[in-house]
Structure 1
Amino acid sequence: MTHHVTVGLDGSAESSAAARWAAREALLRGVPLEIVHVEEWLEHPPLPVSTTEITRRWADALLEETAQELRAAHPGLEVTTSRLGGLPSEALARAAGSSSVLVIGSRGLGSVAGFVVGSVASATIAEARQPVVLVRASTDTSTDGAVIAGVDVRRPCDKLLAFAFDEASRRGSRLHVVHGWKPPPILSYAPALHPDALQEMSHGTATALDDMVKPWSDKFPTVEVVCSTPIGQAAVHVLDASHDAALVVVGRRIRTSAFGTHIGPVAHAVMHHCAAPVAVVAHD
């Protein structure tokens, strides 16, 4: 089964919300839903370690009860369950590899503290090549609201835009594409040049965003698209646009270093502070 939605379940309120959101996503896509639970054990431990039978029974009961609840709420939705072994982030990333999208829960600490993404969620996003959606416990599973996409006109964003347009099309939602940018520091030291130069740069940035979006608008002609290029920090403007959004889409460049993978500052900030579901799309 290569075309399905996968959701990670761990018994938390956040993962339960993720399961409900994933069920709606599977219905929108017309594909089955797979619910997975990862036993938090090393696949090849240095010492013999076994998960207790009680824990396994609890996991199996959790999977089956959640599957029955979702089948009852969405008659006709095909739901399967799997219990996986290994490190959670690695097991979830592997599960994402055969999925259209992986959905996982993340906890929040309120509007002041923001959206706190746990280590498992962060590590999964850093490893997964498929889109990963983070869902809070308070998430509304309705499809109402706009889809927000944060892009960078200086880099290719085809995978991100393909995902965002597809999501907006399936929901019948408006798509708001945002590119936040900063003028070069030299303008601060040349006030006389500031008005004309800034206007020209603003026009060039808006044109670059329109050019980036146009092929996807042509491919999805029914999607209403709004593009904006505000001056300032990109993450702040994406977050400002995300109020009452159905989904926020940001990108993560696929790159590794001696110190591991890198999510990127904009995706990192949106993941931690956005109240709406956040999809992180890996791209070159």
Structure 2
Amino acid sequence: MKTIAVGLDHSQESEAAARWGAAAAVRRGGRLLLVHGYAPAGAAQGLAEFDIENIRDAALARADAVANSLRADHLQLRVDTLVRPELPVPLLLQVSEHVDLLVLGHHRANWLERLTSGSVSAILTARSKCPVVTVPFGNVCFDGPVVVAVDVDAPSDQAIKTAFERARDIGQRVTIICAIPDDAAPEQISDAYARADTLLDPWRRQYPDCPVNVQLVNGDPHRSLAEAVPQASLLVITRPRAGTAFPVWTTSVTRAAHHAARHPIAVVDHSAS
């Protein structure tokens, strides 16, 4: 049974992520694991024991409330909770080693986060051991196409497979988007389209009932990929092939798309491990 884990806190974004994860788990015949980390005693030295107990009780209550709501909405879904006195990032990184998908709420990064590695969801997206989906609040939608960003010079089978599987699960089409320069000559544009269309031949045979189209987007991919298909139900993109160390991640197309996307975005490794 596949396990989808959701990072939970007290935000609306994390509840939106939990609802997205629950629907995905139902479609996959899997289980949902709600993970809530709260400040351990060593990280809260200025707090009295009474305050720490209140933090723990609030975390337990939040996890139980969301779990019960999801069980009521999805009667056949197994929903488990994991609440521990650990900081969220290290806890979720540990969990990511043992689950099939990690789902996180995504909020708009503040000025400090934009200058550094980004929000908690961005940090986990870069370092998670499993694929990650981040869900902005108010954007739980299954009615749009599944979009996958593809580099025709180095296409990712893992990303394309993820997109087709998701599209099959929700009964939607796949849209392949490829970035081209603003000053691309007509023959370059034709060549890029033909190469993108050709690489889809084996996927069309494997998923004959899943319609797919190619869309070229011009301009800087840092901004154009996230905005190419505004009605998308999911954007699939790969982690930087050069790694996710701080300098690489902060300047990557993946991080820019993660920051700008207004719909759920899935980040997967370029190739299967």
Could you state the TM-score of these two structures normalised by the residue count of structure 2?
Answer: 0.85
Matches within 5 A, 1:257-276: 259=246, 262=249, 265-276=252-263
1:79 aligned residue: 79
* RMSD, matched Cα: 2.8
Q: Deviation above 3 Å: which 4+ runs of structure 1? A: 47-51, 84-87, 254-261
Query: Which residue identity is paired with 1:238?
Result: L
2:70 aligned residue: 70
1:37 and 1:236, CA in 2 relative to 1: closer, same or farther beyond 3 A?
Answer: same
Task: Give the Cα separation in 2 of the matches to 1:39 and 1:275.
Answer: 28
1:258 and 1:136, CA in 2 relative to 1: closer, same or farther beyond 3 A?
Answer: closer
> Which has the higher mean CA deviation after the structures are superposed, 261-270 or 152-161?
261-270
1:200 and 1:9, CA in 2 relative to 1: closer, same or farther beyond 3 A?
Answer: same
1:242 aligned residue: 229
2:155 aligned residue: 156
Conserved? CA contact 2:145–2:173, under 8 Å? yes
- How far off its partner does 1:152 sit? 1.1
Task: Give the Cα separation in 2 of the matches to 1:261 and 1:230.
Answer: 23
2:35 aligned residue: 36
> Which has the higher mean CA deviation after the structures are superposed, 244-253 or 70-79?
244-253
Decide which structure has the larger Cα Rg and report it: 1
- Cα displacement string for residues 119-149 of structure 1 (whole angstroms, at most 9, x for unaligned residues): 2111101101321111112123x42111111
Partner SS state of residue 180, structure 2 = coil
Task: Give the Cα separation in 1 of the matches to 2:208 and 2:102.
Answer: 27
List alignment gaps of at least 5 residues for structure 1: 188-197
Identity of aligned residues (%): 31
Conserved? CA contact 2:18–2:103, under 8 Å? yes
2:210 aligned residue: 223
Conserved? CA contact 1:252–1:264, under 8 Å? no
Task: Give the Cα separation in 2 of the matches to 1:182 and 1:128.
Answer: 31
List alignment gaps of at least 5 residues for structure 2: none
1:100 aligned residue: 100
Conserved? CA contact 1:145–1:173, under 8 Å? yes
Query: Which residue identity is paired with 2:24?
Result: E
Task: Give the Cα separation in 2 of the matches to 1:146 and 1:257.
Answer: 28
Task: Give the Cα separation in 2 of the matches to 1:24 and 1:237.
Answer: 29
